[in-house]
Each structure stands twice: as structure tokens, then as C-alpha cells.
Amino acid sequence: SAACECGYSTHSIKSNDNEVYTDALESDFLRLKDFNSQEDWDRQVWETPPVGTAKWGRNHTAANVRTNPGPPAAEGGVEGSDPGLQLWVSSGVPEGGSVPSGEVATRRRDMLYGSFRAGIKYTGEHGTCGAFFWQRNDNAEIDFEFLSKLYTDPSKADLLLVIHAAPEVSRDDIFQPTTVPFRPDFGSHEYRFDWAPGRITFYTDGKLIWETEKGVPSEAGGLILNHWSNGDPGWSNGPPAKDAHMEFSYVKAYFNTTSDAEYKIRCRDRSKPDAVCKVPDQTSPPEPKKSTTFVSPKKGLPGQGGPSPPSPQKVTPDATCGGSNGYTCLGSEHGDCCSSYGFCLNGVQCE
């Protein structure tokens, strides 16, 4: 059996309670060399015309999503700046009327309640908007938003905490500008939101900054990271005078899903010492050039799911797969693919 097969225990800093979630997604962007080597995120490529008071459209391109890995103890990534996944916004008057920007989204869209964290260093170039958020649709969204135009005081800055909810929910209940005692562009910080039935709690570096019970989503969705500009004087301003980038050193998500079928197969003995993995709290700014603690079997790395099974493979008789037994899921009644935990999943769960 694998460690963490019965889930992940997260700690509520506010209530001092623990919550166990069935699944995890951990991405160590400090060590990611090739974006295509990982299977959790997709670059988003789309374009929209100007909307409302925006001067320009938004053009999210694959080229504006870049990896910038840094080896241990490096002074910076391969491009010289702090290492991590970089989302770029291009400068100047855009050709074609839309500002080139960057966005990635998780392939998984079945995240239903959980604890979501990201190590982020924002840009100091005025004229962009960045975000770390969970989304189902335009009426179900939980956001950390960054506006670089607000960063004028060297000792503090405003973050925008936003819940996108049904139109009947008052904006005053779901839009919260919050001052933090640091500049998001001066260094990396952890931004975290815990989403439970009827409640959302926001943290920075382990400190509670806002809690709301209004407009809380109750259906599943996925995570999105983006950085963009459209010249809207009421929001992003811009485009920036220089090409601007924000960096994500990691994303860690611990969550329940819309189906617990695979969880019930792999969680056979919750009393075992390593069956439930304890997720540590980040209570200070993460070090930008050092990897944080990862607890899932993949340890934040792409393509690390354990040793390759021997060949030829035998069809699994009991839904276990891979690892030392060498069983394959193909041709079995238990599913089509083998999860990182060593249990078969069906076709829908494999997507």
C-alpha cells in the first residue's frame, strides 16, 4: 500500500480543528523544467475583445506561460529571476488589439471543498492583474486577486478577496479589499483559502485575513492561475510599460471530489500510521529558492508515481496495480488506468 492512501489532514489555523481530505494535487514549480512533462495543468489559449471600459482585449497565449527552474541553492532560475512558473503580460500597445497574457488551469474539475495554497511573487510593474483562484463558472469562484497599480507603499499593500456568486448576493458580502503588511512584489508569500460547506477562510503566510459565509459555492470545479491586462482604468490599468511576470513557486491543494469510489478502494486501513498524511502549515513567507514540504506520493514532481512495473503485466484480480505486483488495469473490471496510489480508476476518473 502507499502512504496517504486514506487522505490528507489539514489544520484550520482559526479553529484549531483538523479536516481530512481524500485527494491531493501538489506542484513543485521550482523544479519543473518542461511544462509538458507534468499532467496536472494545461496552458490556456483564448482571446476576448474589450469588455465594458477596457481599452484592449485579452489574448492568453502559450508563449506567455514559461518555466524557470532553479537547482537547489541557486541564485535564481535559468532566466536569472526567482525560479518558478512564470505568467507574463506583454508591454506596450498590443498588435491586433489584445494584450498577450498567461494562464494555466488544472485538468481536474472535480474539486469539491478543500484547502488550497500557492507560493506567489507578484510583479512590481504597474498595469496588470494576477489571480490564484478556484472556479466552477462565472457565478461560482473563489479568488485571490492582485492589482499592481495598488502597490505604492513599500511596507504594505491591498489584496482583493473576491467571491463570484449568484447576482442576488450583495457585492458588499463577497468583495473584500484587505491590507497586508508586506508588498507582494518584494518576495514570495503563501496565499491560502480553505473552502468548507457554508464558509471560506483566507490566509496569507498562515495568518487569517478574512472569513465569509456569503456566496459560498457548493459544486465542484478546478484551479486557475492567471496574469493579464486589458487597459481597464477601473481594474488592471495598463498594459505595463515593461514586460511583466508573476512567479508561482508551488501550488498545493487538498480536497474532496465528486466521487469517492477510488478512495474507498485504496483506503483499506485508516488506522495505519501513514494512511493519513499530515499537511504542515506555512506560517512564514516561503523561501523563494527552496522547495516547500510536499506530502503526497508524487512529492510535487511530475511523472513520479513509483517504480515501473515488470513486463509482461498481468490483469489485476483485486484493483491494485503497478508497483511491485506489476498488475495492469487494462482488461479488468476495475477500471482503465492506474492511479499514483496503486489502484485502478475508471475512464471518467482517468481524464
**In the structure, what pLDDT confidence band is assigned to residue 310 with cuts at 50, 70 and 90?**
very low
Q: What is the pLDDT of residue 329?
A: 83
Residue 51: other Cβ atoms inside 10 A: 10
The set of cell numbers assigned to 91 is 508591454
Predicted pLDDT of residue 340: 64
The answer to whether 237 and 105 have CB atoms below 8 angstroms apart is no
Look at residue 345 in the predicted model and tell me its pLDDT. Answer: 76
If pLDDT is split at 50, 70 and 90, which confidence band does 300 have?
confident
Residue 89, pLDDT score: 98
Q: What is the DSSP letter of 264?
A: H
CB 277 within 8 A of CB 295: yes
C-alpha cell at 86: 512564470
Q: Taking residues 311-332, report their average pLDDT.
A: 73
Q: Specify the 3-state DSSP secondary structure of 21.
A: strand
Given a cut of 90, is residue 323 above it in pLDDT? Answer: no
pLDDT band at 298 (very low <50, low <70, confident <90, very high): confident
When mean pLDDT is compared across 21-25, 193-197, 281-285, 295-299, the lowest value belongs to: 295-299
Mean pLDDT of 57-76: 81
Segment 117-122 shows an average pLDDT of 97
- Alpha helix locations (H) across the chain? 171-174, 261-266, 347-350
Q: Which residue has the cell 491494485?
A: 320
**With bands split at pLDDT 50, 70 and 90, how would you rate the model's confidence at 318?**
confident
Helix (H, G, I), strand (E, B) or coil at 298: coil
What's the pLDDT score for residue 159?
Answer: 97
Summary mean pLDDT of the chain: 88
For residue 100, what are the contacts with CB-CB under 8 A and spacing of at least 6? 59, 60, 61, 63, 64, 88, 89, 90, 94
| pLDDT tens-digit map of 30-57 | 999 999 999 999 999 999 999 999 999 9
Look at residue 351 in the predicted model and tell me its pLDDT.
45
| H or E stretch covering 23 | strand 23-28
Q: With 90 as the cut, is the pLDDT of residue 283 above it? A: yes
Which of 121-135, 188-202, 311-325 is predicted with the least confidence, judged by mean pLDDT?
Answer: 311-325
Which stretches of 107-220 are assigned E, i.e. beta strand?
111-121, 129-137, 140-147, 157-164, 175-180, 189-196, 199-204, 207-212
Which string of DSSP letters, residue by residue, matches 319-336? Answer: SB-BTTTTEE-TTSSS-S
Top-confidence residue, 145 or 305:
145
Amino acid at the residue 245: H
**Alpha carbon distances (Å) from 6 to 111, 181, 230, 255, 277:** 17, 38, 45, 12, 8
Q: Which residues contact 95 (CB under 8 A, 6 or more apart)?
A: none
Report CA-CA distances (Å) from 92 to 44, 65, 88, 103, 238.
22, 18, 13, 19, 8
**What is the model's pLDDT at position 64?**
97
Question: In whole angstroms, what is the distance from residue 89 CA to residue 66 CA?
Answer: 12
Vertex 252: Cα angle to 248 and 253 (nearest 5): 130
pLDDT of residue 121: 96
Q: What is the pLDDT of residue 5?
A: 94
- Between the alpha carbon of residue 248 and those of residues 27, 119, 338, the distances in Å are 10, 6, 29
In this structure, the strands spanning 207-212 and 65-68 are unpaired
- Which of 121, 126, 161, 128 minimizes the C-alpha distance to 142? 161
Name the residue type at position 317: P
Q: Is 349 helix (H, G, I), strand (E, B) or coil?
A: helix
Mean pLDDT across 283-293: 83
Closest to 142 in 3D by CA, of 160, 121, 157: 160
User: What is the C-alpha to C-alpha distance for residues 217 and 210, in angstroms, rounded to an integer?
Assistant: 17
- The model carries a pTM of 0.85
Beta pairing class for 57-60 and 189-196: unpaired
β-sheet with 277-278: strand ranges across? 18-21, 8-11, 277-278
Instruction: Indicate the range of 38-52, 142-156, 285-299, 315-329 predicted with least confidence.
Output: 315-329
